[in-house]
Structure 1
Amino acid sequence: MKKFMLFVGGLVALIILLANLGPMVLLALSVWLLYVVFKKFVKSNSTAGKVGWVIVGLILLSIALSNIFAVIGLVAAYALYLIYSSWKKDNRDPVVHVVNDDDPFTNFERQWSEINN
């Protein structure tokens, strides 16, 4: 039942991620362009150039803020990662647990398996 719930949660997170893929790309592009505009603003020597770069930066900032729904996609991607890591962790759990017991039969079986390996 746990695997089924992980599968359903992963499916929902994948659908949300795919639905928000466009805003995520536009947010990344606008943040990168804001960085470029900031670098150009710092390098500019004239006042008119600085004013122009501030205007371009404000336009890009409004584009970035309009794609704030991309954060939902980032949360869905993180949830998908957590579900995947939880799924893989369940598969690595050993089926047979070593029991440290004073029972001679248990110790014999453990020692026999160590000798065969």
Structure 2
Amino acid sequence: MKKFGLFILGLIAAVVLIANLGPMMLMLLGLVILYGVWKQVVKATSSFKKAAFAVLGVIVILSMIANVPAFFGILAAIALYFVYTKWNDNDVKEIKTEDPFQNFENQWTELNKQSY
């Protein structure tokens, strides 16, 4: 039953990820533009250029924040990673067998230690 739930979760996450690939690519493009804007702000010598690039950077950041489907795609990618790691996760439960003579051996060694 665990594998069935993981399969359903993985299927839903894969569909959401594929459906949101376009917005995710646009968010990646926004990150590249933001990196270029940051480099230009650092390189700029005049205050006007720095302010202009800063305004452009704020516009790019706001457009990336408004790109909600890309965030859903990122969450779907995280869910797919979770499904991938849990798929072959074997929960090995160690069965501890009680040896009736082991307790006797432990008590015998305790008695021998006390007698010396």
TM-score w.r.t. length of structure 2: 0.70
Instruction: Choose the corresponding residue for 1:100, options 85, 97, 100.
Output: 97
Which runs of 4 or more aligned residues in structure 1 lie more than 4 Å from their structure 2 counterparts after TM superposition?
none
Relative distance call for 1:44 and 1:93 in structure 2 (3 A) is same
Q: CA deviation at 1:94?
A: 4.9
Counterpart amino acid of 2:98?
Answer: D
Percent identity between the two aligned chains: 40
Between structure 1 and structure 2, the one with the greater Rg is: 2
**RMSD (Å), alpha carbons:** 2.4
Amino acid at match of 2:34: L
**Unmatched runs of 5 consecutive residues or more in structure 2:** 102-116
Matched pairs, number: 101
Query: TM-score, structure 1 length as denominator?
Result: 0.70
Amino acid at match of 1:102: D
Alignment match, 2:71: 71
In 2: Cα distance, 1:54 partner to 1:39 partner: 11
Q: Could you list the per-position Cα deviations for residues 54-73 of structure 1 after superposition, in whole angstroms to 9, with x for gaps in the alignment? A: 34323323431332321111
